[in-house]
């Protein structure tokens, strides 16, 4: 049986104040990469403890990465207040900067789910990362009209029975992008990937290991 990941304290200060965070590291071995994972919409129950965000962190840990999850401003123990996707992008940028400072010689990846996926795309356009994972990205609502797109290895995952982010909308957005991203449509999966989290984790881990 593999050892559980270790947890380390990490003070994460965003533009609106301290952000509650959890940094997990591989057990018994130095990390080979670093990742920031962004949670879904904070005004609809999204926190760093969300099951999909947790699954993404576990995928990175399986690939040997240190994984940081944090609560956006105004969520649970984080200071500040909700800022409709503007400040939340800045929170993501602050988390990337913090992880880059902690692991300056390692590849730095970014991942997010739903609202967090949209914030991840916005942040990755603003600040280059080495890899990006976007699960059920609510782009049309929170990150529409981007002037450019991330140029790193990029995986987009979408369930075809998603009741909140329409699969056709995601496919249309994906088709308008350049040749870079890879799209995985999970048949029969809805927004929160109930009963499909292990499959999601496996697919994301495979992509990370292949592209790191």
Given a contact cutoff of 8 angstroms between Cβ atoms, the answer to whether 156 and 182 are in contact is yes
pLDDT for position 2 = 61
Given a contact cutoff of 8 angstroms between Cβ atoms, the answer to whether 212 and 60 are in contact is no
pLDDT for position 143 = 66
Residue 1 falls inside a structural domain: no
- pLDDT-flagged residues of the chain (< 70): 1-3, 143
Residue 83 falls inside a structural domain: yes
Tell me the C-alpha distance between 33 and 212, whole Å. Answer: 8
**How many structural domains comprise the chain?**
1
pLDDT for position 140 = 79
pLDDT for position 148 = 84
In tens, the pLDDT along 105-117 reads: 999 999 999 999 9
Residue 42 falls inside a structural domain: yes
pLDDT for position 8 = 82
Residue 102 falls inside a structural domain: yes
| CATH assignment at residue 67 | 3.40.50.1820
pLDDT for position 176 = 87
Residue 150 falls inside a structural domain: yes
pLDDT for position 4 = 76
Containing structural domain, residue 196: 6-211
Specify the pTM. 0.96
Given a contact cutoff of 8 angstroms between Cβ atoms, the answer to whether 107 and 131 are in contact is yes
């Amino acid at each position: 049986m593999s050892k559980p990941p270790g947890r380390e304290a990490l003070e994460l200060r965003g533009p609106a104040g301290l952000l509650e965070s959890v940094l997990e590291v591989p057990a018994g071995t130095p990390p080979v990469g670093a990742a920031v994972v962004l949670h879904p919409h904070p005004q609809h129950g999204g926190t760093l403890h969300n099951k999909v965000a947790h699954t993404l962190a576990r995928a990175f840990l399986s690939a040997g990465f240190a994984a940081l999850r944090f609560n956006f401003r105004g969520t649970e123990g984080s200071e500040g207040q909700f800022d409709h996707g503007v400040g939340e992008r800045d929170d993501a940028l602050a988390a990337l900067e913090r992880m880059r400072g902690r692991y300056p010689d390692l590849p730095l990846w970014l991942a997010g789910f739903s609202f967090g996926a949209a914030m991840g795309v916005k942040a990755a356009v603003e600040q280059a990362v080495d890899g990006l994972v976007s699960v059920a990205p609510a782009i049309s609502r929170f990150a529409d009209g981007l002037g450019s797109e991330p140029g790193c290895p990029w995986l987009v995952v979408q369930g075809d029975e998603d009741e909140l982010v329409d699969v056709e909308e995601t496919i249309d957005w994906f088709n308008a992008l350049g040749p870079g991203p890879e799209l995985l449509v999970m048949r029969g999966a809805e927004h929160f990937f109930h009963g499909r989290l292990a499959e999601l984790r496996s697919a994301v881990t495979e992509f990370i290991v292949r592209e790191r």
